[in-house]
Amino acid sequence: MTAARPVKTAVVTGASGGIGAALCAAFGQAGYRVIGCDVREGASNCDVFLRFDLRTISASTAELHLVLERIREGLRGGGVAVLVNNAAVQVLGSVDTLTIDDWRATLDVNLLAPFLLTQGLLPELERAGGSVVNVASVHSHLTMPGFVAYATSKAALVGLTRSMAVDLGRRVRVNAVLPAATATPMLLAGLGSGGADAVAAVHPMGRIARPEEIAAAVVYLASSAASFVNGAVLAVDGGVGARLHNPI
C-alpha cells in the first residue's frame, strides 16, 4: 500500500485582493492546502481564512506571536511549503506631502511584515523544505510621480528578498516576482475604461496582466521545478520594463 503524500500548505497574505484570490486558487489547483490571510473579509479559494492586520504585528510583539500561533493552528502540526508575502498598501503622495504616518503604514505592511512572518515561520518552512515568494512590483525599479513611499518599499522588498536568500542559504529559498499593472477589480475601477486602455497601450504586449498570470509565476517559484532558483527577482511585466519611452 502506498503511503499518502504529506499535505503541502501555502500561506498567502492579502488573500482578499484580486491577485490574492488568484494566488489562493492557483495553489489550490496545484494541490496545496491554502491558508489565506487578510485585514478584509471576503477571501475565497482558501481552506482556512485568518483575519488580521499586518500593521499590528509590526507594532506589537504580542500581536505578532498571537498571529503566528493562529497560523500554526491552521497548519495542524504540519509545515509551510510556501509563504507568499502578497499583502501591500499603496499610500500615494509626493515628497512634499508624505507624512511619517504614511511611511510607517507603508513600510510596516510592505517590508517589515514580510520579514517578521518569514522569521517567525522559519521552523515550519524548514520542516516542509519550503520557500518564500515576495510579491514586489515593477515600481521597485520603474516608477511614476506620487509613488515615492510605495516604490521605495518595493525596492526594499527586493533587497530583502536577495539578502534573505543569501542569509538563509540551504535552509529556505526566497524569491520575488515583479508584477506590472494587473487587471484586478480595484485597479480597473480606479483607471476607468479609458485609463485602462492607455496603460495597456504602453506595454509591448498591448495589454496588462491577468491576476492568474502573476499567480502562475508564484506557483512556479514555489515548485520543485524551481528548486535551484534562489534570490531571483522575476519580472512579470509584459515587457514594459524593457521599453524605452521616447517622445519622438
Q: Which residues belong to the active site?
A: 150
On whether the CB atoms of residues 233 and 136 are closer than 8 A, the answer is yes
Please give the Cα distance from 142 to 133 (Å, whole number): 20
Residue 92, burial from CB neighbour count under 10 angstroms (0-12, 13-18, 19+):
middle
Residue 13 bridge partners (DSSP):
37
Q: Say which residues have a Cβ less than 8 Å from residue 208's Cβ, sequence separation at least 6.
A: 180, 181, 182, 183, 187, 196, 199, 200, 238
